Amino acid sequence: MVNVQSNVSLKPFNTFGIQATARYWADVQTLNDLQTLLQINAYGDVPKTILGGGSNLLLTGDVEGMVIRMNIQGIELVRQDETHWWIKAGAGVNWHSFVLYCVKRGYAGVENLSLIPGTVGAAPMQNIGAYGVEIEQVFESLEAVDRQTGEVRTFSRAECQFGYRESIFKHELKGQYVITSVTFQLNKTPIFHTSYGAIQETLDQMGITDSTVSIKTISDAVIRIRRSKLPDPAEIGNAGSFFKNPEIDLTHFQQLRQQYPDMPGYPLANTERVKVPAGWLIERCGWKGYRRGDAGVHAKQALVLVNYGAAVGSEILALAHEVQQSVGVTFGIDINPEVNIL
């Protein structure tokens, strides 16, 4: 039976370290637990918020409804053929632990996604990505429970409607399903992605050559890069990249390039659009290292908003709005939060 608690502090369960209280709290460790909880009449009309690792969340106040922490564990090899392994993981499995599990066994495809905070269940919702790889490239299917009926449904890659940090679960089906497990299709013959960001440079520094590169060395390189750029939530509250990298028209980008010759941009295949690093835009507006009270913009990575200790969610959000306005006025570009704001 699921143990439902009242008035639980959420500070330990969000990486921003924001103090907030959940009116009701339940830690779900099995599919049956979740289905049982959803069918309890006493909580039928209570709004329910699903929580994974709390690493992509900004709490701006107490949660009056119920917070359900998805804590379903387990990783298993479902099947294999000559070219692929299919690996199924519970929604509550720590994402980085899952990546290390795969790397250790030679399951290739997720090594570029090392050290991304959060859980397996949250990964497809956000279509997480880094260093040239996104979840949709290794995704097979997921299982999710209908909040109204308690029935389990399997979603294929196409049905998830993945986009840049997007999926159907953030739009048409928002709030309708709870992801319980994800199955990944991983490669037996690795395809190395080393051209994005500083991976190749870091591999060179590590003394790794074309003949010695492996998914383990790529994972190690990504971990080294992320640790050098991003603050550890255990030391300073944050949710990683706060904003998405915006996509703008090629004409707009070319006009900005005339004024800012050093502006980086990455053309999107088969489109007349360019992705621009939000961190560069924010830094160019002078926000890098800015601090007001305990809310600030990280000194090493302008894309990361931080809580230096006692900031409340509304202070972080107010700062985010100022950053957005500044970038909009300076460049005519809208930057949108990647973090979920509750």
Q: Which single residue is written with the structure tokens 């980008």?
A: 253
Active site residue 338: yes
Given the residues 55, 114, 143, 165, the one annotated as active site:
165
Q: Strands of 4-9's sheet, edge to edge?
A: 4-9, 21-28, 63-70, 48-51
Which two structure tokens, joined as six digits, stand for 42? 């006493």
Question: What does each C-alpha distance from 141 to 83, 180, 304 come to in angstroms?
Answer: 18, 11, 31
Q: Which single residue is written with the structure tokens 């009309």?
A: 45
Given the residues 114, 219, 241, 273, the one annotated as active site:
241
Active site residue 322: no
Residues 287 and 326: beta-carbon distance below 8 Å: yes
d(CA 122, CA 334): 25
The angle at the Cα of 289, spanning 286 to 293, to the nearest 5 degrees, equals: 110
Kind plus residue range of the DSSP H or E element containing 281 = helix 278-284
Q: Which single residue is written with the structure tokens 């949108």?
A: 336
Residue 316 three-state SS: helix
Alpha carbons within 13 A on the beta-carbon side of 7: 0
Active site residue 211: no
d(CA 106, CA 161): 29
Active site residues: 165, 241, 338
